[in-house]
């Protein structure tokens, strides 16, 4: 598949609870999460430190190449990002998306049993950070709210600028 070379929002996905999340062209991102999105299990998902779930388009495509029927939004991510060095991202990193949104990565996302259907063998630990570093989804908190649109630029802020 052909992609834009620069880091960008490939897809914005929301649901009324559960997976898959379905694409929308734009959404408002707030400290509570992505407008129009709801989590089936708020004790496990959501909240200020899990306001936005992120995943990599390129990782999804590698999983598809392995034969898994996963697609953008399938595994519950709100923002599918393309052109980002996914394996290099870690908690503490910050992303600027579009004109105003700023996110801070808080944690790696544990695989959920509801994602088993996106894997040939039903083993959703294929996207576990502990078992397969660099293949996990990420949770982020919202530092600055605003609108995100499909195609928006994503800037990974240099950690030295954030720390000091």
The per-residue pLDDT for 128 is 94
Q: Please, what sign has the CA dihedral across residues 20, 57, 45, 23?
A: negative
Q: Chain-wide mean pLDDT for the chain?
A: 90
- Give me the residue spans of the domains in the chain: 8-163
User: Would you state the pLDDT for residue 44?
Assistant: 53
Q: What is the pLDDT of residue 11?
A: 98
Question: What average pLDDT does this structure show over 115-137?
Answer: 93
Q: Which long-range contacts (CB under 8 A, 24 or more apart) does 109-117 make?
A: 109/50, 109/53, 109/136, 109/137, 109/138, 109/139, 112/19, 112/44, 112/75, 112/76, 114/18, 114/19, 114/40, 114/76, 115/19, 115/74, 115/75, 115/76, 117/69
Predicted TM-score (pTM) of this structure: 0.91
pLDDT per position as a tens digit, 24-66: 999 999 999 999 997 655 555 567 788 999 999 999 999 999 9
**Superfamily name and number for 8-163:** PK beta-barrel domain-like (2.40.33.20)
């Amino acid at each position: 598949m052909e992609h834009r070379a620069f880091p960008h929002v490939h897809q914005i996905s929301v649901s009324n609870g559960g997976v898959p999340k379905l694409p929308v062209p734009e959404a408002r991102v707030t400290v509570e999460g992505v407008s129009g999105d709801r989590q089936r299990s708020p004790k496990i998902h959501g909240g200020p430190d899990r306001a936005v779930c992120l995943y990599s388009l390129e990782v999804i495509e590698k999983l598809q190449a392995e034969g898994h029927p996963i697609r953008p939004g399938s595994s519950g991510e709100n923002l599918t990002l393309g052109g980002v060095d996914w394996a290099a991202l870690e908690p503490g990193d910050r992303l600027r998306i579009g004109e105003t949104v700023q996110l801070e990565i808080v944690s790696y996302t544990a695989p959920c049993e509801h994602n088993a259907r996106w894997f040939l063998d039903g083993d959703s630990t294929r996207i576990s950070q502990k078992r397969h570093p660099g293949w996990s989804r990420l949770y982020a908190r919202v530092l600055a709210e605003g609108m995100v649109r499909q195609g928006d630029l994503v800037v990974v802020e240099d950690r030295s600028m954030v720390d000091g």
